[in-house]
Amino acid sequence: MKEKILIADKKRRMFIASFKLSVLGMLFFALSLKAYAYDDGDFQVWHTENQEMKINKESKLTLEEEFRFGDNANDFYYHHYDIGFVRDLSKYLNLGIGYRHIYEKKSGKFKEENEPYWIATLFWELVGFKFDSRSRLEYRHFDYQLDAWRYRNKFNMKFPWKFTKMQIQPFLADEIFLNLNGIDLNQNRFYSGLGFNLTKNIKGEIYYLLQSTKSSGTCVWTDINVLGTKFKVLF
């Protein structure tokens, strides 16, 4: 009986800690809106749909589509399609290649970007926390401006706690963008969110994203605040 009480108390304390983390995240989100939305930022909504198909035990095919709405979520300005192939070399490393086709509104018109890419992701675990670090090299081809190479690295941390039957799990992530035409760090994305399982084969995420971008040729940074959702179907 005493052991059951201790287990229940431990779960209660874990839930309180996660709840405090969520509250802090929401508070940070609210403060960010106040600080940036009327100055140099914007509130946006991003939605991603992803399909993942197993080819064999080590390999999978991924498909993705994403929509972005800016100007306080009133203006549809971005859409991409993505196809990729990933192979696990071990439980600590996978490699992949892919192609992304982007439509982004600029000067009132949607313009295209063709983007082949290569990825390598490292995985590890420490005291229940799960980490991964994804490196991504992109070749960005445009019809309306000079082509460019870009390197991205996304560092992700999943907390060891899961709650309810949906296995709600908090996570944090940070991603840097490095323009290789001149070696310039020009964008950073910070994520705070919750992952969950809707069914055995359908997973979801809801997150807050703070994106900071440096204007070309200047030292001026601008920010946007994003409410994001993501759904993944596993086959």
For residue 70, what are the contacts with CB-CB under 8 A and spacing of at least 6? 42, 44, 77, 78, 224
The mean per-residue pLDDT over the stretch 101-111 comes to 94
Kindly give, in sequence order, each residue whose CB lies less than 8 Å from that of residue 230, ignoring residues fewer than 6 positions away. Answer: 47, 48, 49, 50, 204, 205, 206, 207
pTM as predicted: 0.82
In DSSP terms, 44 is beta-bridged to: 226
Predicted confidence (pLDDT) at residue 198 exceeds the cutoff of 80? yes
Map residue 113 onto helix, strand or coil.
strand
226 forms beta bridges with: 44, 209
What pLDDT is recorded for position 107?
Answer: 87
Amino acid making up residue 77: Y
**Alpha helices, DSSP H, located in 37-167:** none
- Considering its fold, how many domains does the chain have in total? 1
Sorted by sequence, the CB contacts under 8 Å of residue 3 that are 6+ apart come out as none
Q: What 3-state class would DSSP assign to 34? A: helix
Q: Which domain holds residue 174?
A: 2-234
- Band (pLDDT 50/70/90 cuts) for residue 194 is very high
Using one digit for the tens of pLDDT, what is the confidence trace for 54-67?
Answer: 999 999 999 999 99
pLDDT at 38: 31
CATH number at residue 29: 2.40.160
Instruction: Give the integer Cα–Cα distance in Å for 64 and 194.
Output: 20
